[in-house]
A and B are shown apart, each in its own frame.
Chain A
Amino acid sequence: MTNWGMVFDLRRCIGCNACAIACKQENTLPSGVFFTKTLTFTSGEYPNVKKLYVPTICNHCEDPPCERVCPTGATYMRPDGIVMVEAQDCIGCGTCIVACPYDTRTILDEHHLQDGLFGQGHITPFEMQGYVRFTKGTTVKCTFCHERVDAGQDPACVATCPTEARIFGDIDDPNSAPSRLIRERNGRQPLPEKNTSPKVYYVD
């Protein structure tokens, strides 16, 4: 069985956040809601300053605490390892947000769906057609663009990345691109001390 995962190549990421824009467009995400972000980290002191870009996303953990703590079973894992939220079952308690060490979930409040991307409460036709999929008061998160993946495509952020810093594939297949990268370049999981076994790895 496929076990979807992702690798971020920190050497290649240039911090353009095209992934974040593609994700917002693909999922019609309201203002202030992001499923993926490329964070900036500056270290050192002048003149030896280094800037690092750290892409973040839901890690679709093997042992997801969000799934464990969810009191309704709204958060569940598909057989292919993608962690999903069933909006009809979600009651918006936020326990999953509190339990996720990676802070990659958001509760959709009323203002998210009413403010509009351009503010002043004006909802564009693009937003109108996209917001239909959302339920007010429920949690939303990255699904690895499951509809695209089911259709044999890469997630939107992966397809868009101009430097191919995001590599998506079956991490249980030793010959897949992410598996090879993890093996050859000593891929590391984010916050391994949290014991969630993320399926997203970083290589540098």
Chain B
Amino acid sequence: MPPLNIGFVADDFRVGYRRQQTWSWSMAAAFFCGEVGAGLFFVAEFTGLRFGLLVGLLMVAVGKASGHLLHLGRPAHAWRAIRKVRSSWISRGLLAIIIFTGSGLVVVGDAFLPGLVPPAIPAIAKAVAGMAALVIMVYQGMAMSHSPSIAFWSNGLMPVTSFTYALLGGVSLAMVLGWDTVSPARMEMLQAFALGLVLLGFVVVVSMVHAAKYGVHGGRKSVERLLSGDLRVLFLLLVLVVGFAMTGLLLVFGPDRQVFIVAAAVTELSGYFTFRILMFKAGSYDPVVGSARHARR
């Protein structure tokens, strides 16, 4: 294992921890839109929220796709990413997005124009879209934790954070979009669910950071940056305080006021987007100096 006392180096000829710079804003936006959109669609399926279905579908099909296309070096060839479903989570994700978009269109079409197709088709499409949404909510975390290179990401809790944030984002937006249409009893249930997810999300994020802090050195270096380094303010303030604490307080103290519910969605989504950015920024590669016996002395 490489020594911990080595610092970060830029792209130069020194041994040291190197920052992950390949995935940045556009990928974070794609991850954000994909997870929140799929989460919203999933929640909207259970609450019968038509606009939730539409917005969720657009977030995935347009928002997520745009983020990925902006990131790609050769966007015109993006379709090729479906070739390695056997081993690549990116391929599996793309397959899920295609299935989700196709079946989601049928579900949304049926929600706004009922009776257009035989009733069995929307029912099947709903089940397929729901399963595809579940995959989209999780696969990005799987793709990150699957890779051994960045110790901070190589963590079993990464897919759990993806799923929790996706569901929480979906519930938050569903409460905003369905304020006038969802029944009070169901809204109350959504608020209780959101509060539970805020608590779960907080525990999962803190556990992930804790596991990395006491794990291998690359992970410790990332945690150092999050808790006491250049990313400290963003992580502590936006992710933990605004994203979880403020959202939780708003849900507890203002469940019957629309402005509080909107504010809770804003704080939750702000915290989540910051979390996504920080996960990319905090990722670091271990130095290869651990291979050299001299360096351990």
Contacts and interface: CB of A to CB of B under 8 A. Distances in A.
Interface of A: 10, 17, 32, 37-41, 43-44, 50, 52, 54, 56, 65, 68-74, 89-95, 97-103, 107-109, 135-139, 188-191, 193-196, 202, 204
A40 B87 CA distance: 36
Contact of A40 (B15, B22, B150, B286): B15
The A contact surface, by secondary structure, is loop
A73 B149 contact: no
B22 A97 contact: yes
Contacts of B82: 71
B74 A138 contact: yes
Nearest to B18: A103
A93 B294 contact: no
B149 A100 contact: yes
Interface string B270-296: 000000000000010110111111110
Interface in B56-90: 68, 71-75, 77-78, 80-84, 87-90
A68 B13 contact: no
Given A38-B13, A54-B15, A90-B74, A69 B88 contact: yes
B14 A193 contact: no
A137 B72 contact: yes
B254 interface: no
A19 to B, nearest CB: 12
B15 A69 contact: no
27 contacts: A40-B13, A41-B15, A41-B289, A44-B297, A52-B295, A54-B15, A70-B84, A70-B88, A71-B83, A72-B81, A72-B83, A73-B84, A74-B80, A91-B72, A91-B74, A92-B74, A93-B73, A97-B22, A98-B23, A98-B283, A99-B147, A99-B148, A102-B285, A139-B73, A190-B288, A191-B288, A194-B286
Contacts of A188: 291, 293
B227 interface: no
Nearest to B74: A137
A89 B7 CA distance: 37
Contact of A204 (B89, B148, B286, B292): B292
Given A37-B13, A190-B291, A68 B286 contact: no
A135 to B, nearest CB: 8
Nearest to B76: A91
B205 to A, nearest CB: 21
